[in-house]
Homo-oligomer: A and B are copies of this chain.
Amino acid sequence: MELTGKNYIGNTLSGKGGIFFKTINPIKNIENKTKFIEATEDEVKLAISLASESFNNYKEIPGIERSLFLKTIGDEIMKLGDDLIKIYCQESGLPEPRAIGERSRTINQLNLFANLIENEKWRENFIDIADPNRKPLPKPDLRKTSVALGPVVVFGASNFPLAFSTAGGDTASALACGCPVIVKSHPMHCGTSELISKAIINAIIKTKMPNGIFSNLNSKGFEVGQKLVMDSKIKAVGFTGSFKGGKFLFDMVSKRKEPIPFFAEMGSVNPIIILPSSIKEKSEDLVKNLIASISLGAGQFCTNPGIIFTIDDENTNNFITKIGDKIKDIQNQCMLHPNMKSNYENRSESIIKTKNVGSLKNEKLIPENNFVNTKIAIVSLNDFLENSELREEVFGPFSVIVKCKNLSELLSGLNKLSGQLTATIHSEKEDHNKINSIINILKNKVGRILFNDFPTGVEVSRSMTHGGPFPASTDSRYSSVGLESIKRWIRPISYQNFPEEFLPSFLK
């Protein structure tokens, strides 16, 4: 399958612009061959007006038909076959099994939303019957349902070219409820995005969905994204990525004449609290699973554990030594992009070279090209409190062990944390008396709290919260993973004293 490098403006490939860029193969550290063509202002406008025009029809299509459309996207993604896997690996440096796993996750997400919308119950329809005899005033017939907001712009994540990008959770949930979607494809994996877009367009044509409910625009810079989110026809925005990128877009959207929902999931440091009893009783398992979680996918997960709190006792140093030994088993891993590699090296080395900070890494492995090794910094609680750099996410296989003298120090460390996607407690019975004081603080800080587990798997289900207080997300009332994520793109509407013939079928 040849890549064209063009944009999809609705169902049509279009490449009218004169600005070109290429993606990078981070493993070989060379450019991939396709020239991607940045969308022009006219192309952006056309994509928006197609989305806006198609909205009125698309939102009225029965759930059962939109459901078939979502399932067909999954089928069409599978039909891309090895080409998709090949391009995914070329553009991300991630291994083939990861590509295959992420493809499954993406299709599962599409199917979950497809099943959700087969009937119209997801709209949380509610009927209050009239009571003409109520005193002092008669009660009207009032029926509530949900409607889609309108065209949604989706910014995909660099670290999940499939599951959090072009046909990822944001797109799947928005298309599910009746919102057209315009994807601003991630410049690091425009080829993957083009292939996925082709699958979506194929599904649109096969299931006879309106032209314009999906567009895919290329751009290396900020302009295309900026034009999209500032347009009055755009009614919501979904973003997954860095704090810097998310906050930049948030501030821009805040300047719109008409405010719109903007949901950004911006990652976090996902603290893990390891109480002494866990170190005493489960040291081996803990070391193994902790290092696996920190280094998984070169640490390029938004739920990557970036801070590990311990309470110093006679077993702590031994535990840390074991971590140092274990780290030597971890091979160097390729990061997604040269920029990410250099950011990682700069940030991690800056921390490690700070006064009083210890470190663990495999000194023998010399990082080449975009490969990096897993590193751990070790600091006292005092240093952690005083140096805000230690509390900020380092994107990559890196974590900071914070040594606290006692529970009280630990709690003061937790109090200093900003909003997080997750926090995790490891404890055995002996320390269970400490748990409630820890939970009380964490509950105000996080979207998900785990026990004797690791945060780097994000289950797609109704009970999942993938979000959290700022800066983990821009609105802690929503989740970007799981069935609840559809709520970002819908609003309630009430029908009062309506004759049955004019009510939506699911309110009759």
Contact = CB atoms under 8 A, between A and B. Distances in A.
A394 B31 CA distance: 61
A453 interface: yes
A439 B501 CA distance: 12
A129 to B, nearest CB: 10
Interface string A463-503: 11101011100111101000010010011111111110110
A259 interface: yes
A250 interface: yes
Contact of A493 (B137, B147, B449, B475): B449
Q: Which of A435, A475, A502 has the most B CB atoms < 10 Å from its CB?
A: A502
Interface stretch (A71-79, A138-146, A180-188, A349-357): A138-146
A497 B451 contact: yes
Nearest to A104: B136
B56 A440 contact: yes
A137 B454 CA distance: 14
A206 interface: no
Interface string A450-462: 1111000101011
Tally of this chain's copies = 2
A448 interface: yes
A436 interface: yes
B140 A494 contact: no
A161 interface: no
A443 B147 contact: yes
A254 interface: yes
A51 interface: no
A471 B256 CA distance: 12
Interface in A127-141: 127-128, 136-137, 139-140
A493 B465 CA distance: 6
Contact of A496 (B143, B451, B462, B467): B451
A21 B9 CA distance: 60
11 contacts: A128-B463, A139-B461, A140-B453, A140-B457, A140-B459, A254-B254, A260-B470, A448-B496, A449-B494, A451-B502, A465-B494
Report the 4 A-B pairs with minimum CB-CB distance, sorted nearest first.
A254-B254, A142-B463, A144-B463, A465-B494
Interface of A: 56, 101, 126-128, 136-137, 139-140, 142-144, 147, 149-150, 250, 254, 258-261, 432, 435-436, 439-440, 443-444, 446-453, 457, 459, 461-465, 467, 469-471, 474-477, 479, 484, 487, 490-499, 501-502
Given A137-B457, A142-B459, 10 more contacts: A126-B462, A142-B461, A149-B476, A259-B475, A261-B475, A448-B494, A449-B498, A451-B496, A463-B494, A477-B492
